[in-house]
Amino acid sequence: MTAKPNLSLVTSPRPLPADHVERNAGVPLDLDVVRAIRVNRSAVERRAATIPTRRTVKNEWQAAWLLRAVTLIDLTTLSGDDTPGNVRRLCAKARRPVRDDIIDALGARDLGITVGAVCVYHALVKTAVDALAGSDIPVAAVSTGFPAGLSPVEQRVQEIRASVAAGAREIDIVITRAHVLTGNYAALYDEVRRFREACGDAHMKAILATGELATLGNVARASMVAMQAGADFIKTSTGKEGVNATLPFALVMCRMIREYYERTGWAIGFKPAGGIRSAKNALEYLYVMKEELGDRWLQPDLFRFGASSLLTDIERQLEHFVTGRYAAAHRMPMP
């Protein structure tokens, strides 16, 4: 008989009240801090290359880590052919992300496992909110001219307000990459600050589009400015760039989160997105968070995966743990 996983890593999918993190209020733009940032690319790449080899989890511990990963997923659909029907199916999967027989075999029924959020375009926010009624799963809306972020600023601000009014509790905004590439950090700060004000009570994730920022130094400086401007999360990518989430980007952004926390006391979340499709890759990002920021950053209020197909592979790995066999992907259908 397969051993049940040690679920000590998996508590509630939502943080306990004692774990509550105050929202980042932001700080005045400090150009001295921003311009002093330097990144040793070769050192970052060497460190990133060791992450998959320095730490590993097996058997019941791996099953526990993968259950935790499920609770950290922003289950996402951002396709041009999205319809209300497939968003409703996505929300049904968000409520019950792992098949009941697998959950029962793992002894995890009482944990109430759900994903971290459902992420959709503005036009489908209301559909998702209605489909998730009665649950505590938030709807996240991509906004501000996603994915390029090149529409007029006033239009982007209005888009945020419209998504919040429709019921979105989280807003994923995109920055103007040109502000970073030209070193106009004051303009970047003012833009992100306006977006944060438009979000109101909704949490704001600032998408940096790391693959389009040219250097790791630019990624680090953009991260710091976004946090100074009040971002609740910093996010790697829209998923639409040629290069999306990578471990070097994650390391640089986590180091900036740590520096900002040490300077201000505000804990900022991290969201890698784009190209994270395998359970193995998800575990690597969990290792990064544990080693760079600590266990507190392994909860949904401080870490999310932006993903669509990742859940299918995690579910397959969990079934393998339970049965010893890999199931066909269609046994874990996604919308």
Active site residue 271: yes
Q: Is 130 a catalytic residue?
A: no
When computed from its CA atoms, the radius of gyration of the chain, rounded to whole angstroms, is 19
Catalytic one among 93, 205, 235, 301? 235
Amino acid at 268: I
Q: CB neighbours (10 Å) of residue 290?
A: 16
d(CA 246, CA 257) in angstroms, rounded, equals: 17
**Both tokens assigned to 215:** 């250097």
H/E element, 38: none
Tell me the β-bridge partners of 170: 140, 203
**Would you call 154 helix, strand, or coil by DSSP?**
helix
CA distances from 132 to 87, 165, 169, 288 (A): 10, 16, 12, 31
Tokens describing residue 206? 């600032």
Active-site annotation holds for 235: yes
Q: How many CA atoms lie within 13 A of 1 on its CB side?
A: 5
Kindly state the tokens that stand for 96: 């019950």
Catalytic residue among 172, 232, 301, 313: 172
Of the residues 93, 126, 205, 271, only one is catalytic, namely 271
Active site residue ranges: 172, 235, 271
